[in-house]
Amino acid sequence: MKPLKNKRKVSGWWWLLPIFFGFLGGVVAWAFNRKKDNEKAILILIVSIGLTVVSFLIISFIAGLLFGIMTLSRTMEIREELYFCRGAMAQIQRGYYDSVTNELTIALFNTGDVNLEGFVLWLEYENGSTKSVEFKNLKINSLDIETVTVSTDDTLEVIRMLSIECRGVQDFVTRDDIEGLGFFRAQTQEF
């Protein structure tokens, strides 16, 4: 028979370290109590490992679940946008440049069967610079035309129109298609 070692009592408070601090708390509790009662210290360490693994699994499960819900939600938003935008179309119907005021007036025609709200005009110039002008509150009903006016100069080369609501709805015209610039300007200067 082995002689019994004199084991000192380990406080129950040491169990709180692995509960609140996981594996790190278990290592600290084991280090402080291994000489008092090695069996209990090892048991505290094992419990801390188990709690850490279980916590990791629970957190991973919850994170995966939340990611799945967010992905599904975004997929539904995209699906709704695609459904809404399937009948959307618009074009730049006409442009007029006033060289006295340096203002460009553009007629935007909603040729689709859905109402559109919010547009961006990208103006591209001869020197390669660009300017974007947003019309967030501009609403064009189906088969309606709305005009917008922007300040610019006669070095304008291209105008691009993009719907904010339906990103696939876009059109562009070059300076040749704008009255007061390009082709129309050359015609009016001949007379």
pLDDT digit string (tens) for 120-137?
999 999 999 999 999 999
Asked if 93 and 109 touch (Cβ cutoff 8 Å), the reply is: yes
Q: Is the pTM of this model over 0.75?
A: no
Q: Return the closest-CA partner of residue 47 out of 12, 10, 11, 15.
A: 15
Within 10 Å of residue 53's Cβ, how many Cβ atoms?
A: 12
Question: Region 93-117: what's the mean pLDDT?
Answer: 93
Q: Which of 111, 116, 110 is nearest to 81 (CA)?
A: 116
For 10, 28, 37, the CA distances from 7, given in Å and listed in that order, are 9, 19, 6
- What share of the chain has pLDDT > 90, as a percent? 66
**Mean of pLDDT over the chain:** 88
- Unique residue bearing structure tokens 């069996």: 39
- Residue 185 half-sphere exposure, CB side, CA atoms within 13 Å? 16
Q: What is the per-residue pLDDT across 27-75, written as a single tens digit (0 to 9) for each? A: 999 999 999 999 999 999 999 999 999 999 999 999 998 998 888 888 8
Tokens matching residue 123: 């103006």
What pLDDT score does 56 carry?
A: 94
Give the confidence band of 188 by pLDDT, cuts at 50, 70, 90. Answer: very low
Lowest mean pLDDT among 9-13, 55-59, 91-95: 9-13
Take residue 120 and report the two structure tokens written for it.
Answer: 């961006």
State the Cα torsion 190-176-95-110 to the nearest 10°: 150
Residue 157 contacts residue 175 (beta carbons within 8 Å): yes
187 pLDDT exceeds 60?
no
C-alpha pair distances (Å), 73 with each of 64, 66, 86: 14, 10, 20
In the prediction, which pLDDT does 183 show?
57
Q: Comparing 53 with 182, which gets the higher pLDDT?
A: 53
Q: For residue 183, give the H/E element and its range.
A: helix 182-190
